[in-house]
């Protein structure tokens, strides 16, 4: 198990390097000059000044060399500094943003997984009932609504019209920290993030449960005189979870995209907002650093999924 995890982590590191190369190249292919970010458009600069600035920033070297320099610095824990006036270290920026993102994502997914699994099981066990029909209808809406739509509708309805929740940010500015304040800011973006996810998990769990409930070992359990409740909880759910865990794992990784979007709609001070702002300002070091962190998140989630899978399925021997 440990060796397997280490192997996967090594493969993940290789993937991260590939990812950073890709982002590096794409950034340089994009129109615009990185040096522009440094210069005040009001001040006229001579060509010589420009060249000196370039040399100072290492931009005069060939691309591969630039990349290797960046990589070497990263390996030494130096992610560079933001190109903004403040010139904060990228690592410090990321450090201050990662907490809010984890808070938002984990509460969103927590809600989605708990709700989705329960709804999926209920829906499958009560197949064909009104409850099943209602859950299915809600799930259909959930999976087919694009995130921007639910985010905007949610924002408009609950904060603009109903005033149930603040319209953005994580804490009310100039107010002492309070848990209540944090939660009231968190609830709306977390629910919106959870909406799509829980619809997806509900559907998967339902169909997985329906499949499992027709299996021979379920009939065998009935032939042993096992109560229906226990058949569901002890014999069916764990088997039904197997395919769903894979799904949850991969969406947990991929849904970073949704989280980035929701962060920018709700002005949530997380990695997503950091990345979006950095892209707007062409803040290359910040873009590189945050992509790396987000990529690492996706990879770690995938490895975690495999490990959880191995724990619940005795047939999987990780090696």
Partner 1 sequence: MLHMTDMTEARPAPQTASGPSAEPTLRVRGLTTVFRIGRREMPAIENVDLEIAPGETLALVGESGSGKSITSLSVLRLLPGAISRIGGGEVSFRDREGRVRDLVSAGGEEMRRLRGNHIGTVFQEPMSCLNPVHRIGDQIAEPLILHLGLSRRAAFERVVELLAAMGIPDPARRARQYPHELSGGMSQRATIAMALACDPVLLIADEPTTALDVTTQAQILRLLQDLQKTHGMAMLFVTHNFGVVAEIAHRVAVMYAGHVVEQGRVADVFRHPRHPYTRGLMTCVPQPGDALALRRAGQALPTIQGSVPSITDRPPGCPFAPRCALAVDACRAAVPAMEDTGDGHLSRCIRWSEM
Of 242, 254, 133, 149, nearest in space to 195 by CA? 149
Q: Which one of residues 76, 223, 280, 319 is an interface residue with partner 1 (CB under 8 A)?
A: 223
Distance CA 43, CA 231 (A): 75
Is 3 a binder of partner 1 (CB under 8 A)? no
- Of the ranges 10-18, 72-80, 177-185, 221-229, which one interacts with partner 1 (CB under 8 A)? 221-229
- Of the ranges 203-211, 213-221, 244-252, 257-265, which one interacts with partner 1 (CB under 8 A)? 213-221
Q: How far apart are the first and last CA of the chain?
A: 7
Q: Which one of residues 47, 130, 216, 229 is an interface residue with partner 1 (CB under 8 A)?
A: 216
| Nearest approach, Cβ of residue 122 and partner 1 (Å) | 17
Is 224 a binder of partner 1 (CB under 8 A)? yes
For residue 89, report the phi and psi dihedrals to the nearest 5 degrees: -65, 140
Q: Which one of residues 72, 106, 222, 257 is an interface residue with partner 1 (CB under 8 A)?
A: 222
| Nearest approach, Cβ of residue 219 and partner 1 (Å) | 6
Is 238 a binder of partner 1 (CB under 8 A)? yes
Distance CA 170, CA 99 (A): 11
For partner 1, the closer CB: 12 or 243: 243
- Of the ranges 91-99, 109-117, 186-194, 223-231, which one interacts with partner 1 (CB under 8 A)? 223-231
253-312: which residues touch partner 1 (CB under 8 A)?
A: 312
Is 226 a binder of partner 1 (CB under 8 A)? yes
For partner 1, the closer CB: 31 or 314: 314
Site map 107..146 versus partner 1, x via CB under 8 A: ---------------------x------------------
Q: Which one of residues 78, 181, 306, 313 is an interface residue with partner 1 (CB under 8 A)?
A: 313
| Nearest approach, Cβ of residue 220 and partner 1 (Å) | 4
Which residues of the chain form contacts with partner 1 (CB under 8 A)?
128, 215-217, 219-227, 234-235, 238-239, 312-315
């Amino acid at each position: 198990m440990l060796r397997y995890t280490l192997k996967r982590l090594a493969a993940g590191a290789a993937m991260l390097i590939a990812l950073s190369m890709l982002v590096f190249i794409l950034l340089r292919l994009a129109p615009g000059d990185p040096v522009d970010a440094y210069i005040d458009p009001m001040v006229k600069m001579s060509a010589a000044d420009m060249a000196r600035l370039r040399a100072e920033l290492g931009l005069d070297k060939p691309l591969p060399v630039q990349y290797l320099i960046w990589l070497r610095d990263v390996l030494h824990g130096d992610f560079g500094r933001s190109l903004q006036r403040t010139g904060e270290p990228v690592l410090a920026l990321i450090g201050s943003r990662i907490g809010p993102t984890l808070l938002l994502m984990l509460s969103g997914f927590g809600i989605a997984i708990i709700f989705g699994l329960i709804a999926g099981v209920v829906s499958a066990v009560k197949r064909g009932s009104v409850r099943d029909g209602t859950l299915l209808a809600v799930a259909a809406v959930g999976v087919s609504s694009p995130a921007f739509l639910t985010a905007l509708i949610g924002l408009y309805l609950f904060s603009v019209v109903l005033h149930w929740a603040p319209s953005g940010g994580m804490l009310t500015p100039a107010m002492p920290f309070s848990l209540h304040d944090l939660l009231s800011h968190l609830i709306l973006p977390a629910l919106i993030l959870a909406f799509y996810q829980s619809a997806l998990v509900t559907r998967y769990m339902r169909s997985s449960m329906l499949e499992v409930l027709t299996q021979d070992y379920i009939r065998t359990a009935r032939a042993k005189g096992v109560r229906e409740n226990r058949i569901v909880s002890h014999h069916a759910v764990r088997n039904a979870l197997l395919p769903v865990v894979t799904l949850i794992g991969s969406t947990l990784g991929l849904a970073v995209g949704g989280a980035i979007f929701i962060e920018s709609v709700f002005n949530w001070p997380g990695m997503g907002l950091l990345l979006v702002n950095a892209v707007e300002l062409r803040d290359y070091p910040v873009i590189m650093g945050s992509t790396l962190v987000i990529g690492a998140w996706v990879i770690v989630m995938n490895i975690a999924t495999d490990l959880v899978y191995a724990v619940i399925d005795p047939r999987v021997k990780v090696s």
